[in-house]
Amino acid sequence: MSVPRSQRKEPGPDEQQLLRAEQGPGGRGYSPGICLLLLPRDLGLPRAPVSWFRDHETSLLQGPDSGLGQELVLAQADSTDEGTYICRTLDGALGGMVTLQLGYPPARPIVSCRAADYENFSCTWSPSQVSGLPTRYLTSYRKKTVSRTDGQRMSPSTGPWPCPQDPPGAARCVVHGAEFWSQYRINVTEVNPLGVSTRLLDVSLQSILRPDPPQGLQVESVPGYPRRLRASWMYPASWPRQPHFLLKFRLQYRPVQHPAWSTVEPTGLEEVITDAVAGLPHAVRVSARDFLDAGIWSAWSPEAWGTPSTGPLPKEIPAGSQPHTQPDEDTQVDSPAPPRPSLLPDLLPLDNRDPLEQVAVLASLGIFSFLGLAAGALALGLWLRLRPDEKDGPQKPGFLAPMIPVDKLPGAPNL
């Protein structure tokens, strides 16, 4: 039974007081510093003095002459003081027991959110301070909308709705069916027996977008080309394939035992590496990002390895010399299985240039060729006009000399 507050021993200014105590048989007291343990009000006579012991110990912690009645005060309590305490009346009878567990009040949790696609996002959290007490988290979210009259002012949020923890009790909750251009406010509240603490986080789906890494990365050699590798991959399974929300990719590769990566940005789901080191295995990895640069790049995919081909370019087999094979008797005519790919390699050189780029190159070559021919013709004409006359031969008329002598022209005066 508790005594009047005026009779209790008050802690010093440098000590932390008890924030909360749950009283009763088997109850728990929580405190970061000084601890004050009380017995239930319905045990013993009013203000009956008791003696305090630790469970399973005989040493006296606080005697009946302490003046605290049924209260036990532990100054500078720490983790070694946790446990069960019992009190006995003057005649030795058991008066009650209290279990002590020390801890801290909740602090604002650390919260971060990420969207693996443009329809859903998840938030995770961790405690900023370990309380040492039983702790649970309450999670919810609101949708924030822009006011129609003032584009700079946010209207009251709609909601809140619960953010389901997936799985229950995990430090993660998921929001399904989010809108890509909307803003959301996430509420994560940490609760323990000493109180509550809340963290609010405003997020927009386009700023937290980070796709999962691409899947199915494969690296193959190109027969007959000792410095080429062909890499191919697929979209991550978590990314919905819609024409308005596509991904772009970047690919890195390096020879074995080389620490530096080379980076290219393919235009599709495959890329041909043309500067591989002949005879050496190469590591290849790929990552993805929204094609409009929303969010950030994904993590790198697991590395795939490939070695360039070391054999010569295979010769083309004439169509008439292919051996005739009988169809397998077990093969069904109406089988839905797709046809097998041809075993003959592609003998055409690999060229990844864009067709428009090739047309531009050809047009440039034609212009330069025309200018070269015009310059050559002009140089030849000047050389024929300005070359010197021969010394021993008869003097030839100039290039622009008249065909009829001047003295023979009609009306020319005789000099």
Out of 86-90, 127-131, 168-172, 278-282, least confident range = 86-90
For residues 186 and 320, the model is more confident at 186
Minimum mean pLDDT range among 123-137, 306-320, 357-371: 306-320
Q: Distance between CA atoms of 379 and 121, rounded to whole angstroms?
A: 72
CB contact at 8 A, 81 and 165: no
> Strands, E, within 262-403: which ranges?
262-264, 270-273, 282-290, 304-306
Closest CA to 101 of 27, 38, 9, 50: 27
Confidence of residue 349 (pLDDT cuts 50, 70, 90): very low
Is cis: bond before 259, omega within 30 of 0? Answer: no
Q: Which amino acid is at 398?
A: G
Model confidence pLDDT, tens digit, residues 364-412: 888 888 888 888 888 888 878 777 655 555 555 554 454 555 555 555 5
pLDDT at 310 over 60: yes
- Lookup result for tokens 């959290």: 125
Does the pTM exceed 0.75? no
Mean pLDDT of all residues in 208-212: 94
Say if CB 95 and CB 168 are below 8 A apart: no
Q: Which of 98-107, 271-280, 308-317 has the highest mean pLDDT?
A: 271-280
